[in-house]
A and B are shown apart, each in its own frame.
Chain A
Amino acid sequence: MARLISRLLPLAGLLTLLAGCAGPGSPPAPVEPSSSVSGGGTAGAQPPLAQPEAEAPSRPVSRPGPGLSLALRNDSSAALEAGDPGRATALLERAIRIEPRRPELWLDLAELHLDQGRPARAQQMARRGAALARGRPELERRAARLLERIAGVTRSG
């Protein structure tokens, strides 16, 4: 009996562990409380091995609001509808130049290229958009659907 219990204990411990963990499929919490998306800094308080002599100046950083990409995306759609895909593309590229990490811009560009008969380029753009969309389910789904469409076109093309 004791041997059975001693066998079961670790299993019980295991089950407790599993119950204590987050549900299946969700990622474990990172060690650091912050989500650590801003650089490979050290976890502890240990300073870098050599102190720089001066503080790096902090120049103001641009923070465009959502209105900017919205306006350019709308203008791009309008250009496309007016029969000027070159202008539509240039407008999206202008938006990406200012806000290169917005997934929807790359996905818009991918759709534009696909509709203009350039599946290879569309795929490049869609992949980039998909990588940037990680962690945002709706955009991830849009990217996945787009990549499927492109694959379909490439297969049949």
Chain B
Amino acid sequence: MNSSRCFSLVALLLLLVVTVGAVGAVSVDRADMPDEGRVGADLTGTVVLTELFQNPSFEQWTLRGATELENVTWTVSVVDQAGNQLAQPSYDNQTFQHPVSIESGVATIRVTVTGTVPPIANYTYEPAESFRVARLTLARQGGTSEPIASYDAHHYTQASREARRAIDDARAAIDAAGGHQGAERTLESAISAYENANFENAVRLAEQARETAEQAQATQQRNRLILLAVGVLVVVAIVVAAVVYWRRTRTHSRL
């Protein structure tokens, strides 16, 4: 009794030390997550998790997932070392919990989330409106929880995208022109209209700003060209004058 108990005690202590001192999480092998989605459209994202019991080396924990997608279905595919699927439960709420145990022989978990892109609550130009596609965390019985991975995506409507594009174009035009006060002000109004969901106005104002900037740039280019032409003419005139002067002051031979 003495030696064997001693051994397991020591082992347990060791395990505890290792677990308490350990930092890190389950690693993401592969993630197929969209960057953006149109409001009301279907969206699917997949994450593959591996090294489920390395750091921290819990033998049992709970996989939690949360999403802002609507009409959502989570599919959790549990695969063992050999590649055999052990289980594939589905969950239909925005959040789910799935127990993970080393005894099940699980090596890889593939999490797929499918749903409808939620509507936009607040239009913001910058940062662009986004929603959470999936957030996965590792939870322990005691209450500790560690984040595994989190994926957000930008959502838009036809109108908001049009307006955003118009504003982006206007911004680019202003930058190309090297800045323009009037155009900037108009652009700010466009952004303000956008953020108030007044997309028609936003587009109109953005286009106005773009035109102003483009005109300014064209004028700038024209002026630069004129200056160049004048410069060339001046140089030519100086050269001609120098030649004429030199020829005139050069006297003919008297002999």
The answer to whether A binds B is no
